[in-house]
Amino acid sequence: MVIVNRSCGSNEELSKAYYEAGIPEVIDKKNKGKSILNYQPWWFPNFSSKRTSARANFKRFDSVQHFSDHHYVLKGNASKQHSRTWAKKIQADWKILEKDLPACESRMDLMRAVIVGAEGTPYHDGLFFFDIHFPDTYPSVPPMVHYHSGGLTINPNLYNSGHVCLSLLGTWYGNTRENWLPQESTMLQLLVSIQGLILNRKPYYNEPFVGWTKWTPLGEPFSKGYSENVFILSLRTMVYIMRKPPNHFEEFVRSHYFVRASDIVKAANAYIDGAPVGSIVKGTSQGGSMKFRTEVAVFMKTVVDEFVKLGVKELQDKLKPPPVIHTNTSSGPVPGHLAMIQEPDIASSLKMSLIKGIARFKLIST
């Protein structure tokens, strides 16, 4: 079991993994310019309540004996003999992820990781689970990775089937340095790549062949709309995980959302007020669409209901209602969930304009 939240491993190892994954290192200006890759978030130290203490004391890396719900449980078995190279590489990965681990386990070929969505992304505060299998030919080939999707597609690289599309896994094309290198690549690098390259701030640009729109007027409206949809899917993923946490992570899931519930509601309220997704800044010209603001308000009721089941109190009254649109009609203000159908879909309009432009270009070319 592995927990990844930008604080797993030593500073030196994380810096190397982030560098190899192409992810810029984060610098804390208040700490004399030192890297904060290995700093624990404010909510991770010891707490007074049993639940938050359990969250704080949950091991970053641990071994278990029962793995019946693992996606790859039927691949291989405990009695199968593996090469020394295979075992040595996995043990080396273990040591990078956490020191002083047991030297031998009954199913070394299986691993489960949870990645905590980073602040400033539409995935913030979410928990994203991955099942990992080390095939017989590892490390000559990369490990196999399956995402616990709950049937949702929250990123172009994470399919609703659980397939993970990443050059480091050999499931997407990339240059030599982006591919799996048997003598150099590690599990830490892989997990950091998933967090930094997939669960990132603007996942729209992970879509194939759309990177060029970043430098055009089309890019940001597309990206904004995509991120808004991703956040709604991230909320749905929260509910899915709270209702059906993977084995051995039950208390971690409960404790994580028990601690983060209030801040998740605060962020949702900011979005309902018009803040752009991934930000808590109000009143910007790039604020959320009415459709997004309304969907957040509506679905957060379900999320808060799950928080209440965890023992979080007095959240229902803190959640803001759907926004109201003031119209020029005599009927007065219109609730957002009714008015949003009147709002033009800018992204769809731009997309249609792009399609028409391409079709026109083809017509002229022929």
Active site residues: 165
What phi, psi does 205 have (nearest 5°)?
-75, 0
Alpha-carbon distances, residue 159 vs 150, 153, 324 (angstroms): 10, 5, 35
- The residue to which tokens 């967090």 are assigned: 195
Neighbours of 160 (CB within 10 A): 13
∠112-310-115 over CA atoms, to 5°?
Answer: 25
Question: CA dihedral defined by 172, 178, 184, 189, rounded to 10 degrees?
Answer: -80
Joined together, the tokens standing for residue 118 give: 């980073």
- The residue to which tokens 């309304």 are assigned: 294
Bridge-based pairing of strands 2-4 and 110-116 is parallel
Joined together, the tokens standing for residue 282 give: 């109000």
Closest CA to 102 of 113, 90, 114: 90
Closest CA to 188 of 157, 143, 146, 154: 143
Quote the longest CA-to-CA distance of the chain.
79
Q: How many residues are present in the chain? A: 366
Q: What is the DSSP letter of 196?
A: I
CA–CA separation, 207 vs 216, rounded Å?
16
Q: What is the DSSP letter of 111?
A: E
